[in-house]
Structure 1
Amino acid sequence: MTDQNSDFADCSLHEPYALQVLGNEMEPEFPDQCIVIIRPTDVCKHQDYVFAEVENVRWFRQYSKDENGNERLIALNPLYPEIALTGVKWAVLGVIIQRNIRRQIKHYT
């Protein structure tokens, strides 16, 4: 017997979803309480805004890869340190494709 709901669940894992930003780590571009739309993917490019997991902790940051291949996650607010990705277990969970602040929408590509 086939579980018909399993097909739906698998499909929904590939659909964009919304999260609310909590905190000021990504200000001023993404202020506290704004809504972001995330497209699930496991790949990103330099300067993408990403939802990532590093050593079992999830982060919303900007991905950076320099000319030497060094990768890191950067908070836009300079009060927060960068997260070096060299030698740690990490994965991209999704890329931010839209931001909504009080019904003002901005798209990212």
Structure 2
Amino acid sequence: MFANNLKYLREKHNMDQLDLAIKLGRKSSSSVSEWEKGKYTPKIGVLNDIAEIFNVSITDLMNKDLSLETESRDGLLRIYDKLKPNRQKIVYETAEQQYNEQNNVIELPANNEVVISGAVSAGTGEYLGDGFKETVPYNGEIPDHDFAVVVNGDSMEPTFENKQIIFVKETNEVRNGQFVIAEYDHQAYVKKFMRDENGCRLVSLNKKYNDLPINEEHETSIFGVVVL
């Protein structure tokens, strides 16, 4: 979602990739190009900068299809402008009624709040750290944990679903078969740690994704184990 949103917002604001790169303090457009191709996601500090440049929230930047929202609003305005005054009045009154009904809806509060420290991928990788914190509502029992993260992607389904909040205990010592939060080549994942005669690796439960071998060719750090 981030890759598509980035390209959409950049083009909407009439920027080429180099324009955006310069605004982010970079000398070339190579990083922007790789982000838009979905090769990797920038660190949270850069995501903050991108969100500020385009005046959107990080949550929307990462999780919503911004092109659909804007196209729906712009399309509605185009239709409204083509209507005769009496029909414009009907549209306005209907919209006002919907707005008032929406504001009269009583939303039940969530049981708890959780501080999220970033996202981990079940797919292409995310970044943790850089001081990112976001408090979100959470319905359910909160276990003893050191930090919480959101899962992006489906490679750990059915155990961990896309957008699920998971809780983590910090440690760099893990047992075979545990679910871990790991940094692999500078990107953060939730995976199953496996050690056998073929060596160590980070395993996806969804078999359409390849395992990540842990060896001297890749930089790997374990942040913690998932609290189940």
In the superposition, the TM-score normalised over structure 2's length comes to: 0.35
Higher strand share: 1
**How far did residue 89 of structure 1 move?**
2.0
C-alpha distance in 1, partners of 2:171/2:153? Answer: 24
**Distance change in 2, residues 1:79/1:69 (3 Å):** closer
Show the counterpart of 1:38: 168
Show the counterpart of 2:219: 89
Show the counterpart of 1:64: 194
Q: Which runs of 4+ in 1 moved over 6 A?
A: none
In structure 1, list runs of 5 or more residues that go unmatched. Answer: 1-14, 98-106
- Report Cα offsets for 1:41-97 as digits up to 9, x if no partner: 11111011000011212111000000x360000011111000000222211111001
Report 1 or 2 for greater relative contact order, CA contacts < 8 Å, sequence distance ≥ 6: 1
C-alpha distance in 2, partners of 1:82/1:69? Answer: 12
Name the SS of the counterpart of 2:157 in structure 1: coil
Alignment match of 1:77 (pick from 202, 206, 213): 206
Higher helix share: 2
C-alpha distance in 2, partners of 1:33/1:57? Answer: 18
Q: How large is the Cα RMSD of the aligned pairs? A: 1.3
Name the SS of the counterpart of 2:194 in structure 1: strand
> Matched residue pairs, number?
83
In structure 2, list runs of 5 or more residues that go unmatched. Answer: 1-144
In the superposition, the TM-score normalised over structure 1's length comes to: 0.71
- Return the index of the structure with the highest Cα Rg: 2
